[in-house]
Amino acid sequence: MRRKFFTTLAAMLCSSAVIADVNVGNPMAITGPIPDLVAPMVKAIDLAVKHVNEQGGMFAAGESYNMVRADTGCDPAGAVDAVTKLINVSSVSALVGPVCSGGTIAQAQSVSIPAGVVTLSVSASSKDITDMEDGTDLVFRTAASDAYQGVALANLALAKGLKDIAVSYANDDYNAAIAEVFTKAYTSAGGTITANEAHEPDKASYRSEVATLGNTSDNLALFAYYGSSGITIMRNALETGAFASFLGADGMLSDEVIEQIGAENMGGVTFTTSASDDSSVGYAAWAAVTEGSGIENIGGPFVPNSYDAAFMMALAIEKSGSDNRADIAEALRSISKAPGTVILPGEWKKAKAILANGGDINYEGGAGPHDFDKNGDVMGFFSQSSVVNGAWSATLIK
C-alpha cells in the first residue's frame, strides 16, 4: 500500500512537471517618458498571447503561454532590476522586450547575456545594439536599427529643401545614437549642421538651449522622448519663434505632443518612425486579427512589431519542443525565414500543426518579414508623420 502511494505520487509529480506553463518575461516601459506609446504595444502583446492560448496553447499538452510583465520605466537601471527579477525569481525562458534602447543594452550586457537568455526587443532601435557584438546570438529585435532610420530622416530633411539644421538630442542611448547617425548622413549628403548640442532630460525649461540653437538655423532636428524633454523644448521654441520647422524620430510621435503643443502650431513638424507596409499580406492579416481587440492605432509605432515579437517567441519555443533557454535562439531564426510554409498573424493553429509534423514555417508579420541578420537585426520600413486635420498622418518612406 505504501509503495503504491509513492508510485502514484511520483507519477503525479512527473505529470505536473510536464504540464506546466511556458513563462516569458515581458519588461515594458509602462511608466516613464513614453507611456502613451507603450500602452497599445502592451495590448498587441496580449493579443498574441490570446491567439496562442485560444488555438491550442503550447506543445501537445496545450500548456499556457504567459507573459510575466515588469515595468522598466524606460530607464537602464530599472530595466536591469526588472530583468534580474524576471530571470532569477520568475525563471522566465526568454524576454519579449524591453522597449527603450538604454534599458535593452544595460540589461543585456549585465543580466540576460550572462544568464544565456534570449532578448527579443519590440522597439529598441539604437545602432549601439548592433555594435554590442555580443557574439552569443542572444539579442534580437523586431524594430529596424536607427542606423537605417537616421539615414532616412537625413534624406527626408534634404528632400524638404532644408540645407542647414541645428541638432538637439537628449543625453541617453537612444537619442544620442540616432542623432549621431542623422548628423553623419546629413553632412555626407551636403547638408550643414549649424549646431549639435546634447541636453539633459526632465528640466523645467530649455529656453537658454533653444536661444543658442535658434541663432544658428531656422530648422531643428530634435531627438528626445516627448515626456521628458521633447514637448518642453518645442514649447519653448514656439514661444520664442526660434524655429520654422522641426524634424525628429519616434520618441516624439505621440498624441500628447499635439494635445500639449496644439495642432495649429505644428504645420512645420515631421517625425519619422519604424513602420509597416500596409500593402503586404502580413499587414492585412494583422489588420484582420485586431478587429474588436481594442487596439485603436494598429499601425502605430511598434504596435505590430510588439505582436510579432510575442507571436514569434511562442513559435520559436514550439519549434524547439521545450522552453529550454539554450534552444530558443536557433529556433527563432528558423521560424522567421524561408524555406517554410508562410505563417501570418493569428495563424497559431496552422503553425502548430506544421511544426508537430516536423515541417518548417516562415513567419511574415504585421510589421513585415523578420529575416534576422547575423546581429539579430531586421531591415524594416519607416514612415514620415505630420499633423493633418488635428491628427498624425503617416506616409511610408519608399
Is 60 exceeded by the pLDDT of residue 11? no
**Span of 125-139, 161-175, 214-228 with lowest mean pLDDT:** 125-139
Is 90 exceeded by the pLDDT of residue 18? no
Q: At 20, is the pLDDT very low, low, confident or very high (cuts 50, 70, 90)?
A: confident
Superfamily of domain 147-267: Response regulator (3.40.50.2300)
Are 98 and 29 a contacting pair, CB within 8 Å? Answer: yes
Burial of 109 (0-12, 13-18, 19+ CB in 10 A): middle
**Tens-place pLDDT, residues 288-339:** 999 999 998 999 999 999 999 999 999 999 999 999 999 999 999 999 999 9
Q: At 133, is the pLDDT very low, low, confident or very high (cuts 50, 70, 90)?
A: low
Compute the distance between CA of residue 225 and CA of residue 174 in angstroms, rounded to an integer. Answer: 9
Element of type H or E holding 36: helix 35-54
Is 70 exceeded by the pLDDT of residue 53? yes
Cα dihedral across residues 161, 167, 172, 177: positive or negative: positive
> Among the residues of 245-370, which ranges form H helices?
255-261, 281-289, 303-320, 328-334, 348-356
Average pLDDT, rounded, for the chain: 93
Tell me which residue of 63, 68, 246 sits closest to 157, measured CA to CA.
246
Tell me the Ramachandran region of residue 278: left when phi exceeds 0, alpha when psi lies from -120 to 50, beta otherwise: alpha
Structure confidence at residue 173 (pLDDT): 93
Helix, strand or coil, per DSSP, at residue 290: coil
**Tens-place pLDDT, residues 176-234:** 999 999 999 999 999 999 999 999 999 999 999 999 999 999 999 999 999 999 999 99
Structure confidence at residue 5 (pLDDT): 35
Equal fold, 22-143+293-369 vs 147-267: yes
Helix, strand or coil, per DSSP, at residue 355: helix
Contacts of 252 (CB under 8 A, 6+ apart): 222, 224, 225, 226, 230, 271
Tell me the average pLDDT across 24-38. 97
Structure confidence at residue 228 (pLDDT): 96
Structure confidence at residue 380 (pLDDT): 87
Domain boundaries, the chain: 22-143+293-369, 147-267
What is the chain's Cα-based Rg? 22
Is 60 exceeded by the pLDDT of residue 346? yes
Structure confidence at residue 282 (pLDDT): 98
What architecture (CATH level 2) is domain 22-143+293-369?
Answer: 3-Layer(aba) Sandwich (3.40)
Are 63 and 21 a contacting pair, CB within 8 Å? Answer: yes
Compute the distance between CA of residue 361 and CA of residue 136 in angstroms, rounded to an integer. Answer: 24
Tell me which residue of 95, 268, 94, 70 sits closest to 165, measured CA to CA.
268
Tell me the average pLDDT across 101-118. 96
Is 60 exceeded by the pLDDT of residue 10? no
Compute the distance between CA of residue 32 and CA of residue 295 in angstroms, rounded to an integer. Answer: 21
Calculate helix-pair angle for 146-159, 173-188, nearest 10 degrees: 50
Structure confidence at residue 16 (pLDDT): 38
Is 60 exceeded by the pLDDT of residue 122? yes
